[in-house]
Structure 1
Amino acid sequence: MKLSRNALISILIIVSIALDQISKVLVRLYVTPYQETELIGKYFILTNVENSGAFLGMGSDLNPTLRLIFLLLLPIAVLGYVLFHIIKNKDLDKWSLMGFCVIIGGGIANVYDRIVYGSVTDFFHIDLGGVLKTGIFNVADMFVMLGLGFLILGNFKNKKA
């Protein structure tokens, strides 16, 4: 049985949201806030922090009105536009379509957290000896990055064709 395009879009978005929300529920239940647990030495660390801002806490010091505009209303409008775009544009290649879907899923998951909890739960941290060091992030952030990777891959594949 072949899935319709819109069913595939829905499944990718829902799975992205579900995996993120399940991971955050588990972290909230079982990981003490600000306690660090080494998963792979000091290279891959699990912790539990609440981020009231966006990427790396940017925007956390904004007044409540600006935070509402930039961290809720604007992302909702952009995610809605991108969803409208991928549903209407039937010419998107599979990599771009998957990329946009998981970006939308990750975005919705983080917006949901901001609405329900007032902040986003972040819990992973990578530090490869200063060569690669991340801020603290979550599964939704991973889906956004995966989606960007898919968009780049789709762009390269389209240029070759």
Structure 2
Amino acid sequence: MKLKGAYRIIAILALLALNISCDQVTKMMMREHINIYDQHRFFNGHVTLLHVENMGAFLSLGSKLIQPFRFILLTLVPILALIGGLFFVILKKNIHPLMGMGIVCCVGGGMGNLYDRIRYGSVTDFLHLKFGPLQTGIFNAADVSIMIGLGFILLDGFLTSRRQKRIQARRA
């Protein structure tokens, strides 16, 4: 179902607020209740809460960059990308809902991490998963929002491709 007009804008802003709020509440709980580098393991060590402050981006990439390059790559470029993504999803009226939700989740997660970077100088990460030889880096709720958003975008692309192939097959 496609929403129109003010309902569409309200839905976009509500999903954006939900993403940012979940991220900021979980990070606030970590900063207030778990000391830096403290670990708490759950489910036979498969889930670990570990409070770290990440100076870089995904997997600490860019944390060793010198200023002004770190500011440009980790603050300025993301600001422009997030503004662009938000304007795109708001202004493009015929965007498929799954694609729109994906973009909003990515923007919301990005805004949550960007807020941390601007306010605290680093991003609070706290979740680590390990199952046998497979494990994640340390991440946060904003990262989950971004991954869910990317999943929605990929799913939309897959479904759109399938729809187009079916339409072409009917024409043949």
Give the TM-score normalised by the residue count of structure 2.
0.89
The one-letter amino acid of 1:139's match is A
Alignment partners' CA distance in 2, 1:39 and 1:26: 17
**Could you say which residue in structure 2 is the equivalent of 1:104?**
107
Greater CA drift, 2-11 or 73-82:
2-11
**Could you say which residue in structure 2 is the equivalent of 1:27?**
30
Per-residue deviation, residues 131-154 of structure 1 (Å, max 9, x unmatched): x21100000000000000011111
Alignment partners' CA distance in 2, 1:160 and 1:57: 37
**Could you say which residue in structure 1 is the equivalent of 2:135?**
133
**Could you say which residue in structure 2 is the equivalent of 1:93?**
96
Aligned equivalent of 1:114, options 117, 121, 134: 117
3-state DSSP of counterpart to 2:128: strand
Alignment partners' CA distance in 2, 1:75 and 1:69: 9
Structure 1 residue 7 corresponds to structure 2 residue 13: no
Percent identity of the aligned residues?
41
**Could you say which residue in structure 2 is the equivalent of 1:67?**
70
Per-residue deviation, residues 70-124 of structure 1 (Å, max 9, x unmatched): 0000000011111111111112111111100111000001000000000000000
Per-residue deviation, residues 31-59 of structure 1 (Å, max 9, x unmatched): 12111111222211101000000011111
Larger Rg: 2
Describe how 1:140-159 pairs up with structure 2 within 5 A.
140-159=142-161
CA RMSD of aligned residues (A): 1.1
Structure 1's consecutive aligned runs of 4 or more residues displaced over 2 angstroms after TM superposition are none
Structure 1 residue 57 corresponds to structure 2 residue 60: yes
Give the TM-score normalised by the residue count of structure 1.
0.95
The runs of 5 or more residues in structure 1 that have no matched partner are none
The alignment of Structure 1 onto Structure 2 pairs a total of residues equal to 159
3-state DSSP of counterpart to 2:157: helix
The runs of 5 or more residues in structure 2 that have no matched partner are 164-172
Greater CA drift, 14-23 or 86-95:
86-95
